A and B are shown apart, each in its own frame.
Chain A
Amino acid sequence: MKLFSSFIKELKLASRGFYFYIELFMAVIILAVFLLLVPDNFNNQRTEYIYFDMPSQTSELFLQEILREDTDGKATPVKVEVDKQEKDAMLYTTTDQKIYVLTSREDVIYMADKEKKIAAVVKLDGDNTINYEYYLQGYESEKFKNLLKILHVESNETIEAAMNNQDVRPLANNFNVLSDRENMMPSVLVFNGALMGLFIIAAYIFLDRKEGVIMAYAVTPSPVWQYLLSKVGVILVTTILSSFLVVIPIMGTQPDYLLLLLLLVTTAFFSSALGLLIASFYKNVTQAFGAIYGFMLLMVLPNIAYFIPSWNPDYLKLIPTYPMLEGFKSVLLGNNDWLYVLTISSGFLLVGVILFSISNRRYKKTLLG
């Protein structure tokens, strides 16, 4: 009962303040930008890298076939940077593809493995059968795959045989099939929820410190944890509201909403508990700014890595936003992967509870500080 009235009071306070609206306002902006300005996919033209491992007269046949699709009917000599070296290549541009024909097999594999590009090696075996090695990233469209097929100048049977001979080996196994727009959603959720929550709860605490109301609370029979938890409650409300505001119009029915709710609650709980703990070490926003900023930067790193597939060092996995991103991605895809999301959620809940109880002890001791 006391907890509930504390929570209602905090909601009232928050709704009369400025921070409450930051998140919602950001959500509206993000929604507008996404719906009006960001195309479903930034660039429909797929880029791929091919090496023909065969005598040049055979590869000529392939190239002629590609040229027929080329928008200007001729190939352009270009330089491609492979492993920090400039390499010669020929560029063929079709309506939905940019095909770079490279001069070595290693370069193609490098592009596939390190740069996460779509790449293929087309090879003529000793017995004159054609062998295709595709290095797909998992996000290629059906259209592209079909196009790869029609590029083959062999008879239908050979194609079929060749297809059957395909040896598909994944280089990495978390293929995503979100569109570009959708692909940005996990980051939006992490940023608008977790990171803003951390900052905003700290701001609330400093506001109360400045007004001295924590001291007035401390001379009542109500425990400090209820005071702190009601603030966390406000963060949960704003996070859920602003997240759903963005997710529903953009993602429609695809996500698992129940799991999304669960993950939002646990991650927001975790980050607001972290915010409380950080704030407990400082007297005012100015003093805490460095620490909060530092934490936010650290938490943003996995977001950056998320958009640069080739940069994904292992230590990033230790940053809490990394599993958050993975979790949101799974939920938004509608994978229905309960076990995975429950595991991540309970992890955040557990760490959140620990951080929260440390904060509780600290606030009990440092009410006047």
Chain B
Amino acid sequence: MISVKNLYHSYNKDGKYQVKDVSFEVANGEVFGFLGPSGAGKSTALNILTGLLPLQQGEVVVGGYDLKKVSNERFNKIGMSFEQSNVYSKLTAKENLDFYRKLFDVPTLDSHTLLKLVGLEGKEHVKAGEFSKGMKHRLTFARSMINNPEMWFLDEPTTGLDPSIAADIKDIIKEKNKEGVTVFLTTHNMFIADELCDRVAFIVDGEIKLIDSPKNLKLQYGDKLVEVEYIEKGEVIKTTLSTVLPEDKRELQKIIEHHDIQTMHTKEATLEEIFIKVTGRGLV
């Protein structure tokens, strides 16, 4: 269980907040995602939750541990995978994991099993420094589940990976979640959010604009979008408009009155389109 109330964070303590009044709750066994463009404050919030950044203002409880009271013990229940892979390049894949296992007080997974899980079988004795970017990321990801965490924090788990590796990682996350692991992830990829998350929070400029399940969001916004293709000054223009938002409705009327319509149909919105509608911002 994660509970966050009125969280604020300012890196330079200059009155400018990179995380502003963020509140949310994640239930046990849930997959919760922060979806937002680069610089939105996703990693900042996540790093506060995992104790990498100090808690400046707000109330945060992670797995029953109040972050105001320092306790290293809580890390036995927590796993974290980093946005940028961070392993010892001078140690082999196996040595990296073997050393990490010894840092916990709880039973840990065997290094070999973990490497197999992320497709690094046979690379046990290769130094991480000789790994490709994707392989390092998989090692970092594998390390995050070494202590069978109850709560799993994943910062951009698939960003920058080729699609087949990304698909493998998605499968592992789903599998772990089935076993009861609570997942908190950040992403700017709507497909990840859509496919993995029970609920997503849209975050822009450090603020949460909306929290809901992808399914609800689509129900709410889905059939209320129309895709129009029309001709203006000899060119074909394609646009997607809401049938709910007043300015979109006016725009649609204008198009119908003044232009030659080629095609027009309602469509299911993607999470990205919904994001744009809600926040007025794209995901990149």
Give A residues with C-beta under 8 Å from B: 1-2, 5-6, 9, 12-13, 16-17, 211-213, 215-223, 365, 367-368
Q: Which 3 A-B pairs have the closest CB atoms?
A: A212-B86, A220-B103, A5-B102
A13 touches B51 (CB 8 A): no
* Interface segment, one of B28-36, B72-80, B217-225, B246-254: B72-80
Give B residues with C-beta under 8 Å from A: 47, 50-54, 72-76, 78-80, 82, 84-91, 95, 99-100, 102-105, 140, 143
For the complex with contacts A9-B99, A220-B100, A221-B104, 4 further pairs of A-B residues with Cβ separation under 8 Å are A9-B95, A12-B90, A16-B90, A221-B73
Query: How distant is the Cα of A213 from the Cα of B100 in the complex, in angstroms?
Result: 11
Query: How distant is the Cα of A325 from the Cα of B85 in the complex, in angstroms?
Result: 45
Given A5-B99, A216-B143, A221:B88 Cβ within 8 A: no
B102 touches A17 (CB 8 A): no
A219 touches B102 (CB 8 A): no
Tell me the number of A-to-B contacts counted with CB atoms below 8 Å: 72
Query: How distant is the Cα of A213 from the Cα of B82 in the complex, in angstroms?
Result: 10
23 contacts between A and B (CB under 8 A): A1-B102, A2-B102, A6-B99, A9-B99, A12-B95, A13-B88, A13-B90, A13-B91, A16-B91, A211-B86, A211-B89, A212-B82, A213-B86, A213-B87, A215-B86, A216-B143, A219-B52, A220-B75, A220-B104, A221-B72, A222-B103, A368-B47, A368-B53
Residues of B within 8 A of A211 (CB): 86-89
Chain A interface, DSSP helix/strand/loop, else mixed: helix
Chain B interface, DSSP helix/strand/loop, else mixed: loop
| A12, chain B: closest CB distance, angstroms | 7
Residues of A within 8 A of B72 (CB): 220-223
Query: How distant is the Cα of A248 from the Cα of B50 in the complex, in angstroms?
Result: 50
B103 touches A217 (CB 8 A): yes
Residues of B within 8 A of A213 (CB): 86-88
Residues of A within 8 A of B51 (CB): 218-219
Residues of B within 8 A of A218 (CB): 51-52
Query: How distant is the Cα of A93 from the Cα of B74 in the complex, in angstroms?
Result: 80
Listed residue (B73, B79, B84, B88) with the most chain A CB atoms within 10 angstroms of its CB: B88
Query: How distant is the Cα of A109 from the Cα of B276 in the complex, in angstroms?
Result: 91
